[in-house]
Structure 1
Amino acid sequence: MRIASVNVNGIRAAQRRGFGTWLCVTNPDVVALQEVRCPEADLPQDAFGGYHAAYDAGARAGRNGVSVLTREPPAAVRTLLPDGYAVPVARELRPFADQGRYLEVDLADRPLTVASVYVPKGGLPAHLQKPGRMREAPDGGAAYANKMSFAAGLSRHLDRSRRAAAANGREFIVMGDFNVAHRELDVAAWRRSKQAVGFLPQERAWLEDLLSPRRLVDVVRRLHPDQPGPYTWWSWMGTSYAVDSGWRIDYHFASPGLARTATRAWVDREVDGVRMSDHSPVSVDYDF
């Protein structure tokens, strides 16, 4: 079973850059998408190929949007909106419920629950904000607090969803853009990134707490324990992509039973020599 995840940074732009070709060549059974960035009514024709798409566009036009593509219509679809959800939505996640940041489905043809998540980018805490040395205007740490609130709620929500899946005889996997690099191996220039958004000690500690051999396993790192990367994001600016000076911020976090079946993991940097997004797809083959 081949499962993939990619932040497309706009499905319309990704489609022009070869998203359809990538789908055909890679031929995944399940795909998690983030930053689809398109109202459902405006999706391009055949945007998701021949897959069935569960899609939460969110209420912010041109922002966010998560989807899970499957070969068969899913048995159930859930977002952060409270109506009909299998588990209570964590309090910290409720302000994000209409932002198109989390969606999960129960597969109809496999005992597996699949989630796609797009964690807010965040910002620097107030004590690290120095006017004149930031691209954005100082905000007193508001974006940082927003991200960490989402992160705290997501931890509880994923634990509840994983337990609910197990109670129903299902494995669980959450994939997506977590906007955090976990370890030094996950950032090419980690020494100068220690006070950068996405590699802050508090963010890394959150991921450390999220992962456990008995709860969720970082599948790609399990298969590549000592390899730098494989990186999944590179800035559009400068030469970082050309020299592979990237960040690994897109993950497959799976329940232990599913993680043990992973046999191969890779990152597709390009499609016919073209970057599909500032992120690249992360694909894993599972003997499941």
Structure 2
Amino acid sequence: MSIGGYNELNLHNRNTEIQPSAYQFQSARAALYAYLNATKIKTLYVPNYICDSIFPALRALSVEIKFYSVNEQLLPIDYPKLTKKSDSRILLVNYFGLLNEQIKTLTAIEPGLFIVDNSQALFCEHIEGTTSIYSPRKFLGIPDGGFLRTAEKISVPETRYDASENVGHLLLRAAGDVKAGYARFLSAEEALECFIPKRMSVISAHLIKCAGINAIKEKRQRNYRLLYTEFKSFNQLDLPIDNQVPLCYPLQLAFDITSICNEFITKSIYLPRYWRSDFNGDVGRAMYENTLFIPIDERISSDELKNLIKLIKNKL
């Protein structure tokens, strides 16, 4: 305990815990690297719709990469049938946090053969027997962080990630200066490209303790349900609406959405694109080229979301 001295940010410690049984690293890709390095996995089957950021870590470990395809419901259609003693694993992506129940079904028979990428599904429960990876910074205002849940014994390094140089974008965003914070955001993301495992920073660990998780979950679910209702008749995707806590609302249209995204930037509306990759199959290309990923996080007011719905419908 320290008394006196310089002031600090006034953050309320709620003692929030997320995946308390998980190994904690600086990023999801570092968590994946740590698992593969510890288990000496030789081959990883990955979907042909995935973020390229995992590939440098796989190549550094000389893990052979084999692709399988996903269908229009973003579920695998041709991954191999492995045996319990296999030195291979199958990576399943819980896209946008919308496939919880489907992944439970897919992993039910041989859970130990699956790595579930929950980078977009922070609040999805870990499936016993599988290995799960989470990326809390996609849902929370933290500079770094990656969780790993596995039955394997993993060595966590003593060295912590130093996030002190990479929190400026969070403060600028909180102060309302989004444009000024963007360059710092890119710098912070670049710093996390190093996948050599470190422990999650003390800054992120503390910010997680201050997060109002219940309010975050409720707002995301409420916003998702509203968008689902408003766009169900337009959406080319048929994704479920259950009790999940999604990352965003994916709205797939019958045309290229690049011009809409560019126009919205001029209105200070920033929609991400998931993902441009040379490895994308037909489904992945349609997701990148034709899909609006509409934010649903707790910062968006009801009026802002209704205005965004109106703007999008004017383009349909």
TM-score interval for Structure 1 and Structure 2 normalised by the shorter chain: 0.3 to 0.5
The structure that is helix-richer by fraction is 2
TM-score normalized by structure 2? 0.30
**Which structure has the greater CA radius of gyration?**
2
- Structure-1-length-normalised TM-score: 0.33
More strand, by proportion: 1
